[in-house]
Chain A
Amino acid sequence: MKKWIILLVSTCLLSISIFAVPTVSIMIQAAAGGVNSQEVTWFNQWIPKIETDLGIKINLITLGVSEEDFNAKLALEIKGGGGPDIIWLDGFMTPEFASAGYLHPIDATATIPEWQYFYPSMKAYGSYNGKVYNIITDTDVRMIYYNKELFQKAGIPVPWQPHSWNDILKTALILKQKLPGVTPLQLDAGTGMGEATTMQGFYMVLLGAGGNLYDWNTGKWIIGSPALTAAANFYRDVYITDKVGDPEYQLTPGGREQTFKAFQQGKIAMYIEGTWLYTSVMNPSNTSWGIPNRDEIIGWAAMPGRGNPGDPKYVSISGGSGFVINANSKNVALDEEVLKYLFYVEPVDSLFELKPSILPSPIYTDFSMIVNENKYIAETSKLLEYSTYRPALPVYDQISYQVQVLTEKLVSGMSVDQALAQYASAVTNIVGKQNVEILP
């Protein structure tokens, strides 16, 4: 039996070693036919060209699991001394991975000719401790999407642009009253929604009250502030007091997919989400949740601040992903060659054609017909001006998880004070007493 297996394994090894050409492996969190299938399509377009031009072989590893499992597996592989050479990694994981010594710093200026034209925020987003680890391919903004048909049915004029949280709640209450069976607002909450809860949910509210999770001036995590209380109260208003959001979506397995489906079917009226929702999920070509007449019936509005004097007018927070190089990679020079190729204008624009996003440098957009003709991207890009980024710190991921727990408790009906007190003690446990603060 064992002989048979050894034979099998050695046959596999042999068949690999026949390809004596240098190989670069690239791992992405996507699968053909899945929600991120455009990325697979894109690679399938470009890999043959890169292989011919560079005289190498590229081994594309597609892994269609959840982002959490993807990151965990990747970390385990690199920690164990293995892993793929190049990974398409969510930008906000860069500090976690870099501080663990999992990533190879990239000499971006020398490697990527287009790098010098990258937006400074994009450069900073892919960096940690002064070194570049992640070359960002795309970024995004967050906003409120709304279903124009439902708004019209409820007698709310479109285009619609709220100027305060109150405007949102008032609109939601009208929708609730006029359209029974429709959930007026989807504001992500709970651990089941993962990072979406923190980013398109709690952060969007918190920023609107002029708050943040992290104090950039003192370098401490904020465990209590008027803005935190206000944001928690907004959640309570939405889910408990006014009941304009549906807690079940937040707390049921597969809830995120259910909200996509409900939004597609016109059962959710307003949905606070990012660029990706429009370009990927609602994309008419998406067989699962695509909206055939998306451009006609889906509107978008900027997310307003709370509306008190001194609050920001609009808010947004940006994410995005990019390419990193594994610290265990045997041939970094070759990996950099591949990256250099991928960041030429032509590949980047062809990725945009498949999966529109906000590009990291004007060099990709200024002369591109495809990009300039995309009205959605052109308009929503303006929100970049109001947008901010998550704290690029190794511990962010754990704090984010606590934010998800906090919202889950609020949505389940726990009082604001109690939920915030538990949040404060959980965060203190993670970063230590000396790294937290309470703002008056």
Chain B
Amino acid sequence: MNKIRVSSAINYIFLSVVAAFFIAPVIWLFVTPFSNSPSLSISLGTPTLENFGSVFQDPAAIYSFGNSVIIAVGVTLATVICASLAAYIFSRYHFHGSNFLIFILILFSNIVSGTAAMVPLYMLNISLGLINSYLGVILTIAGGGIPTSIFILKSFFDSIPKSYEEAALVDGSSYSQMLFHIFLPLSKKGIIVIATLSFISAWGNFLIPFILLSSQRTYPASVTIYNFYTEMGLPNIGLISAYALLYTLPVIIGYLVVNKIFGFSFYGGIKG
């Protein structure tokens, strides 16, 4: 029994150290914006909201959040709709090599999200008349993210037992009814996971909006924050940290809410 206690004590110490490792670099983000003497070290000094005040003096900083919301929500909707329909087909109508096909698509999405692909992507958007529009940014980001989403969602669908489907078919449900009445409700978690992931990746995407958009008015926060870094330089730490916190909060809160309500995990729902 003693042996077990010791080993579980070591276990907890180890877990605490790992947790500290994950949290340590992030603490700064939650402290510095409220500091009256912001620096690269963690020190609160006298708490103040002044740093946020200076962020809001810059109109670009404010509407860039609106732009981020438009882009991220658009990408999320496009991804969830396209991926859930396709994942259903991939899960229920097996054809040879479908898994490998999805992997090839994931490989392609890696090369297209790389920097060398920016020339084709830019010219593609020009020829589609989508340059400098949210729609172009949304579709470009979504196109790159859909294969991974199909892959994740498919495994949720795969875990739904065949018997559910057969019962529904006997009841006279159509294929589309089956998707909406059985698959989607039973895979709610999966939908939530891909929605969260695509929202997060669109929210953080710098390169595509930077390349495809060309006016201050349409830039999302990911591009605007870059302005702050390069142009303001390191010393303006109060402003940068305040902006960074505002920019990061929606993602963190979104995750925590999703995690609380649905549980954020790659878990295939029901087990047959």
Contacts and interface: CB of A to CB of B under 8 A. Distances in A.
A contacts B: CB pair < 8 Å? yes
Interface of A: 1, 5-6, 8-9, 12, 27, 30-37, 59, 61-66, 69, 73, 76-77, 79-84, 254, 257-258, 260-261, 287-289
A63 B234 contact: no
Contacts of B234: 254, 257-258, 261, 288
Contact of A73 (B77, B138, B211): B211
A81 B74 CA distance: 27
B54 to A, nearest CB: 9
Contact of B233 (A63, A65, A76, A260): A260
6 contacts: A1-B78, A9-B135, A35-B232, A79-B122, A83-B214, A257-B234
Nearest 9 A/B pairs, CB to CB: A34-B231, A64-B231, A64-B227, A288-B235, A31-B231, A80-B126, A1-B77, A257-B233, A257-B234
Interface in B70-112: 70, 74, 77-78, 81
B206 to A, nearest CB: 10
Given A8-B134, A80-B131, A288 B236 contact: yes
A27 B214 CA distance: 10
A389 B32 CA distance: 44
Interface residues of B, number: 34
Contacts of A82: 126, 131-132, 214
Contacts of A1: 74, 77-78, 81
B215 interface: yes
B223 to A, nearest CB: 8
B259 interface: no
B48 interface: no
B123 interface: yes
A32 B58 contact: yes
B138 A34 contact: no
Contacts of B60: 32
Nearest to A5: B135
A8 B123 contact: no
Contacts, number: 95
Contacts of B135: 5-6, 9
A62 B81 CA distance: 36
B232 A261 contact: no
Contact of A66 (B74, B211, B230): B230
Given A73-B210, A261-B234, A288-B232, 15 more contacts: A1-B77, A5-B138, A6-B135, A9-B134, A27-B214, A31-B227, A35-B233, A62-B216, A64-B226, A64-B227, A65-B210, A80-B123, A260-B233, A261-B235, A288-B235
B133 A9 contact: yes
Contacts of A8: 70, 134
B197 interface: no
A64 B232 CA distance: 9
Nearest to A59: B215
A295 B81 CA distance: 63
Given A82-B131, A260-B233, A65 B226 contact: yes
Contacts of A65: 210, 226-227, 230-231
A17 to B, nearest CB: 14
Nearest to B217: A12
B23 interface: no
Contacts of A61: 214-216
Contacts of B216: 61-62
A331 to B, nearest CB: 18
Contact of B232 (A34, A59, A81, A260): A34
Contacts of A35: 231-233
Interface in B213-231: 214-216, 226-228, 230-231
B235 A76 contact: no
B122 A288 contact: no
Interface string B113-146: 0000011001100100001111100100000000
Nearest to A40: B231
A76 B236 contact: no
B272 to A, nearest CB: 34
A254 B226 CA distance: 14
B236 A287 contact: yes
Contacts of B215: 59, 61
Contacts of A288: 232-236
A33 B232 CA distance: 7
A365 B109 CA distance: 56
A393 to B, nearest CB: 23
Nearest to A35: B231
